[in-house]
């Protein structure tokens, strides 16, 4: 039984560089979510996909952030021109059509130096 898989688990990048994170959801799940978590805080919702359609985006998702799910399976989250404030753990999660129970991956840690 494979859970939600995220890659890379850790990324250190210089300010101004672009980074991309990948998420592979649980195979039968058609809903996919991205959350962000900073130290000492709970996760914050960023965006939601149902199949390939991005149905909701948080105001936290600035213009430098873009998420895609081209074939309704895996998803990518790209951050352009990274800033130190982007340092956080980026969590992907998925759920099935008939349930609001979401299952999280292990997260991708981003450090911007």
Partner 1 sequence: DAKTTQPPSMDCAEGRAANLPCNHSTISGNEYVYWYRQIHSQGPQYIIHGLKNNETNEMASLIITEDRKSSTLILPHATLRDTAVYYCIVTEIYKYIFGTGTRLKVLA
Residues engaged in binding partner 1 (CB under 8 A): 4, 31, 33, 35, 40-45, 48, 56, 89, 91, 93, 95, 100-107, 109
The least CB distance from residue 48 to partner 1, in Å, is: 6
Query: Quick one: 18 or 111, whose CB is closer to partner 1?
Result: 111
> What is the C-alpha to C-alpha distance for residues 58 and 38, in angstroms, rounded to an integer?
16
Closest separation between CB of residue 100 and partner 1, Å? 5
CB 72 within 8 A of CB 50: no
DSSP character for 38? -
Whose Cβ is closer to partner 1: residue 44's or residue 68's? 44
* Cβ–Cβ under 8 Å, residues 15 and 83: yes
Token representation of residue 83: 């800033």
């Amino acid at each position: 039984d494979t859970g939600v898989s995220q890659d890379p688990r850790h990324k250190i990048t210089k300010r101004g560089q672009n980074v991309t994170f990948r998420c592979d959801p649980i195979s039968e799940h058609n809903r996919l979510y991205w959350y962000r978590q900073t130290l000492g805080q709970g996760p914050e919702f960023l965006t939601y996909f149902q199949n390939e359609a991005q149905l909701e985006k948080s105001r936290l998702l600035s213009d430098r952030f873009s998420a895609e799910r081209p074939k309704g399976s895996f998803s990518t989250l790209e951050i352009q021109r990274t800033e130190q404030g982007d340092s956080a753990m980026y969590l992907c999660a998925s759920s099935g059509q008939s349930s609001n129970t979401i299952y999280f991956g292990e997260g991708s840690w981003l450090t911007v130096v």
